Amino acid sequence: MNIAVIPARGGSKRIPRKNIKTFCGRPMIAWSILAAQQSGLFERIIVSTDDEEIAEVARAWGAEAPFVRPPELSDDYAGTTEVIAHATRWLEDQGQVVSAVCCIYATAPLIHAQDLKRGFEVLQSGDWAYAFSVAEFSPSVYRAFQALPEGGLAMLFPQYFSTRSQDLPVALHDAAQFYWGRPGAWTQGLRIFDRHSMPVAIPRWRVQDIDDMDDWIRAEMIFKQMTSDQTQ
């Protein structure tokens, strides 16, 4: 049995009520639920939340909210792995035989059902603990520099100062859309960014963290262009 778990706590501060704020005509979380539904991969789509309004919105869009996330997993310091581990243990305590659990972020409106399918295929391609969405840094992280306390600048990777951009190592970052994992990987707290994980590449233009309103506006612009292209 494959399970999707969408973490969605109620205490967002930088964008209040972010998980259910209207994004391009629907509650933000609805886009993640719809992608999970459209993938056809999941027997159950569960929203892990501490907030009854979020739970009601989730149910209205076809997901389940069968438990209340405990307070110790609902503050600003709760990690994704711990939240998904809690949901996985809850399912196992209910007698569910779970083969894979996919964490889908509630604030991932640019996610595609096809990417979820690719992620599952990658997880199944070997003895991997996780398979998750990544994108390439742009510009390259190897060109990064920092301001020094006494003034002036210093490159973080000075050994690459003279390296042509096309010859720089490819650096990836978390695309923050989905994380497929084995049940045991979640419950044992295995680190996601490690050798037992496989990357699933997402185009850079379709990756956007949504932490403040500038991010929100940019994501809406991308989403509108993306859906416009699909209808033409």
Flag whether the pTM goes above 0.85: yes
User: Residue 142: pLDDT above 90?
Assistant: yes
User: Residue 139: pLDDT above 90?
Assistant: no
- First-last CA distance in the chain: 37
Q: What is the pLDDT of residue 220?
A: 96
Q: What is the pLDDT of residue 226?
A: 86
Average pLDDT, integer, range 187-207? 96
Q: Give the relative orientation of helices 52-60 and 28-39 as an angle to the nearest 10 degrees.
A: 40
User: Residue 232: pLDDT above 60?
Assistant: no
- Give 13-30 pLDDT, tens digit per residue: 789 999 999 999 999 999
User: Residue 102: pLDDT above 70?
Assistant: yes
DSSP state of 37: H
Average pLDDT, integer, range 181-189? 97
User: Residue 123: pLDDT above 70?
Assistant: yes
Average pLDDT, integer, range 174-196? 97
Q: What is the pLDDT of residue 227?
A: 80
- By mean pLDDT, which of 142-146, 183-187, 228-232 is the weakest? 228-232
- Give 25-50 pLDDT, tens digit per residue: 999 999 999 999 999 999 999 999 99
pLDDT band for position 162 (cuts 50, 70, 90): very high
Q: What is the pLDDT of residue 13?
A: 78
Residue 223 has φ and ψ, to the nearest 5°, of -60, -45
Q: Is 26 helix (H, G, I), strand (E, B) or coil?
A: strand
User: Residue 100: pLDDT above 60?
Assistant: yes
User: Residue 229: pLDDT above 90?
Assistant: no
Radius of gyration of the chain (CA): 19
Spatial contact of 94 and 67, defined as CB atoms under 8 Å apart: no
Mean pLDDT of the chain: 94
